[in-house]
Amino acid sequence: MTKPDMPNPLTEYPQPPFPRQPMSAPGLTGEMTPTPDHGEQSYQGSGRLEGRKALITGGDSGIGRAVAIAFAREGADVAINYLPAEEQDAQEVVKLIEAAGRRAVALPGDITSEDFCQKLVQDAVAGLGGLDILVNNAGKQTAIDSIAELSTEQFDLTFKTNVYALFWITKAAMPHLKAGATIVNTSSIQARHPSPNLLDYAQTKASIVAFTEALAQQVAEKGIRVNAVAPGPYWTPLQPSGGQPQDKIEEFGSEVPMKRPGQPAEIAPLYVFLASKESSYSTGGLFGSTGGMPLS
């Protein structure tokens, strides 16, 4: 008998040390060493989201990119939002979605604007012909060592990106979501185990958990499910573009039991599960992918 493929998760993907690689926010995938794996070559779908219509914020790179690829290969049409500076990455994702035989809708813009968030949902619905999956994934993270150095401007921008936009987009999407629709929010292990240099970011990720738990109870009677995913250290442009100091980048992920960062391809199946009918009794939950770090 042929033995099943059983790769060792400790050695399947790159381990630190990594080179320092400072880049300007929001960062680009192609500038990272090693290049993140979003499942471009590995993800194989099985029709679990056939005919569904999804909007993913931050869909150009990192976790959002991996989720967009997975959703498309599972049969969903996908709209992605991203900043105009990320157009290069976004167009790569559009090609991958279309290569899977699905409709791709590219919607650049700044989600710190309430007006844009409302337009984003309208344009996604128009471009996709409806909406039944919303993934609030876009995020801002900037490491600052001391509260004395944390400006009101950064604090405000972090909350606008991570919390206000999630609220605005979800509120605008609700009239379009019917029974069976799903919302998946990206929180973080920072919601449970905040790092001292991520004071503002950790607060927003805890807020996302509370938002998820409250909204799930509010919309359960409509047949709409709401869950959150809590990634640990994942290898995305968010990290070297200011999310972590460069000395932390060199050893990024070494602090968790698996001794390496996660690759976006490793978390995308969790979003597929939460968006599909296979998770039909799961709502209001926080699902971790942390390399062994407990969420409790």
pLDDT reading at 1 higher than 90: no
Q: Which of 82, 201, 234, 271 is catalytic?
A: 201
User: What's the rounded Cα separation, in Å, for the pair 22 and 25?
Assistant: 9
Residue 193 phi, psi (nearest 5): -130, 75
The structural domain count of the chain equals 1
Q: To the nearest 10°, report the CA torsion of 217, 277, 47, 263.
A: 50
Note the pLDDT tens digit of each residue in 7-22: 999 999 999 999 999 9
pLDDT digits (tens, 9 = 90+) for 26-42: 999 999 999 999 999 99
Does 27 fall in a domain?
no
- The verdict on residue 244 lying in a domain is yes
CA dihedral 285, 287, 292, 295 (to 10 degrees): -30
pTM of the model: 0.97
Is residue 264, in this structure, part of any structural domain at all? yes
| Angle of helix 268-275 versus helix 62-73 axis, rounded to 10 | 50
Is 214 within the bounds of a domain?
yes
- What are 189-198's pLDDT values in tens digits? 999 999 999 9
Q: Is 201 a catalytic residue?
A: yes
- Bond before 17 cis per omega within 30 degrees: yes
- Residue 170's φ and ψ, nearest 5 degrees, are -65, -45
**Can you give the CATH number for the domain in which 260 is found?**
3.40.50.720
Report residue 178 as tokens: 């019917």
Domain extent, residue 278, equals 45-289
- Please indicate, yes or no, if residue 26 is contained in any of the structural domains: no
